């Protein structure tokens, strides 16, 4: 019998139009609701998620919820509050609300024009701190993707230059045992200094991002086999640098490099190796991404989304692993609303590094969308997806080992 999961999620829309003459207030949201059944998927799991270090597609995602409220005062300043939920829904789990995973993601104040210099902008608070260009088919922000508590200041002329300083909890170390019964108490917090630059290029923009990460030394406690052991964790640093370059119409190229313990656009958990007795960390690791993402709509009622990424990951004192991921989604407008199409996703490991996890596959997903507005992409829609995945070797899913998995998903995407 097929495995069944019900997924419900709401994600905030970032679109906002300010009224320059009066105070304004608005709610924004993006809603995704799916029903999923099939062989090889459960509770919103992406059936291609074999645990390897390559980037995977975004079809059949797990649940996520975001609702955002924003108020603005004239054309000078505004405040945003966003609540998010990343767990399963109460209607499915019958558990409320302790395990639902609710969190405040945005709680910050921004001044768009500082007194005395209208080109200066400042913000402070807690926020999702990332750019406006992601790779949609991979659901990833290659250049920058941080959550932090802090503040920043920017000069917004023809060229925009921004600096931000923030912090978040994030010990670099984990226990080498890998057992769920063993744990490492949070040791300290991560400090980040971030510099962003945006330069006009024709009618597009070149963007750069530089991040310096520092985790101070700390005294903490490890629990192993039920016994507590005091540990001294040394300090760790990391640096991440990247840029985004506009290519042909509708496409962007990305490059990002990270050294040491970094988080965000180049987060690389598989780079953790033993660095202290009984502990593993990403200290001294190296990771890099070269990526492409784009979208094109053609006068012939045909549209295509496409993405590709080459990823390299080298833990300290360990051989480097490399992978290539690609995805293409084509849709055809039968009418202003009805769009059949197909998405093809491919993952190929050029050099494996995680035994039993790095599995090559091809995923073919026919789909039908009914758009609730005009336009092929970026409009609310009903959708039906049948996803087929073919692995290069047998993969175990919930006690069933096979080289093939199949999932059907139907749902609604809506934002307002």
Evaluate whether residue 90 is within a structural domain: no
Distance between the two ends of the chain, CA-based, in angstroms?
37
How many Cα atoms sit within 13 Å of 184 on the Cβ side? 23
Residue 126 near residue 148 (C-beta atoms within 8 A): yes
pLDDT at 291: 97
Does residue 68 register a pLDDT over 80? yes
- Could you tell me what percent of the chain has a pLDDT over 90? 37
Structural domain boundaries, residue 170:
119-282
Does residue 257 register a pLDDT over 90? yes
Does residue 79 register a pLDDT over 50? yes
Q: What is the mean pLDDT of residues 16-43?
A: 66
pLDDT band with cut points at 50, 70 and 90 for residue 222:
confident
More confident residue, 199 or 396: 199
CB-based contacts of 375: which residues, under 8 Å, 6+ apart? 297
pLDDT band with cut points at 50, 70 and 90 for residue 48:
low
More confident residue, 180 or 145: 145
Q: How far apart are CA 55 and CA 295, in angstroms?
A: 19
Evaluate whether residue 160 is within a structural domain: yes
Evaluate whether residue 8 is within a structural domain: no
Alpha-carbon distances of 253 from 23, 99, 294, 296, 340, rounded to whole Å: 39, 39, 9, 15, 28
- For 260, left (φ over 0), alpha (ψ -120 to 50), or beta? left
Greatest distance between any 2 Cα atoms in the chain: 68
**pLDDT tens, 304-319?**
999 999 999 998 888 8
Between strands 65-73 and 77-85, the pairing is antiparallel
The total domain count for the chain is 1
Evaluate whether residue 156 is within a structural domain: yes
Evaluate whether residue 141 is within a structural domain: yes
Does residue 18 register a pLDDT over 50? no
Does residue 17 register a pLDDT over 70? no
**Model's pTM, two decimal places?**
0.86
Q: ∠ CA 8-14-19 to the nearest 5 degrees?
A: 130
pLDDT at 15: 37
Q: How far apart are CA 80 and CA 66, in angstroms?
A: 13
Q: Residue 220: is the preceding peptide bond cis (ω within 30°)? A: no
Evaluate whether residue 33 is within a structural domain: no
Evaluate whether residue 250 is within a structural domain: yes
Evaluate whether residue 344 is within a structural domain: no
pLDDT at 2: 30
pLDDT at 100: 56
Q: What is the mean pLDDT of residues 85-113?
A: 77
């Amino acid at each position: 019998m097929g495995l069944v999961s019900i997924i419900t999620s709401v994600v905030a829309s970032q679109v906002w139009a300010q009224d320059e003459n009066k105070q304004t207030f608005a709610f924004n949201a993006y809603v995704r609701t799916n029903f999923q059944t099939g062989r090889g998927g459960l509770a919103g799991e992406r059936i291609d998620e074999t645990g390897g270090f390559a980037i995977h597609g975004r079809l059949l995602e797990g649940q996520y919820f975001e609702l955002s409220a924003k108020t603005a005062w004239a054309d000078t300043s505004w405040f945003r509050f966003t609540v998010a939920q990343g767990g399963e829904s109460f209607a499915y789990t019958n558990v409320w609300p302790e395990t639902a995973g609710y969190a405040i993601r945005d709680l910050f104040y921004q001044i768009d024009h500082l007194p005395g210099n209208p080109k200066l902008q400042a913000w402070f608070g807690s926020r999702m701190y990332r750019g406006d260009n992601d790779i949609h088919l991979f659901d990833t922000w290659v250049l920058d993707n941080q959550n932090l508590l802090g503040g920043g200041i920017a000069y917004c002329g023809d060229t925009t230059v921004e600096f931000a300083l923030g912090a978040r909890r994030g010990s670099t170390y984990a226990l080498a045992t890998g057992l769920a019964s063993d744990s490492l108490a949070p040791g300290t917090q991560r400090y980040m200094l971030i510099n962003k630059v945006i330069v006009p290029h024709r009618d597009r923009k070149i963007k750069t991002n530089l991040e310096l990460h520092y985790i101070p030394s700390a005294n903490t406690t490890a629990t192993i086999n039920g016994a507590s052991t005091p540990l001294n964790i040394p300090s760790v640093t990391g640096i991440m640098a990247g840029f985004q370059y506009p290519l042909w119409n509708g496409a962007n190229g990305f490059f990002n490099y990270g050294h040491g313990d970094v988080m965000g656009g180049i987060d690389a958990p598989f780079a953790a190796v033993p660095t202290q007795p009984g502990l593993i960390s990403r200290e001294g690791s190296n990771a890099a991404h070269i990526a492409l993402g784009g979208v094109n709509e053609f006068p012939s009622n045909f549209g295509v989304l496409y993405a590709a990424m080459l990823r390299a990951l080298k833990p300290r004192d360990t051989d480097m692993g490399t992978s290539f991921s690609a995805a293409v989604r084509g849709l055809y407008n039968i009418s202003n609303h009805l769009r059949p199409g197909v998405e093809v996703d491919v993952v190929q490991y050029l050099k494996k590094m995680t035994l039993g996890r790095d599995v090559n596959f091809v995923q073919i997903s026919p789909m039908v969308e009914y758009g609730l507005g005009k336009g092929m992409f970026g409009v609310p829609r009903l959708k039906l997806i049948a996803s087929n995945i073919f692995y290069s070797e047998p993969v175990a899913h919930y006690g069933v080992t096979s080289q093939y998995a199949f999932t059907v998903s139907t749902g609604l995407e809506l934002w307002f």
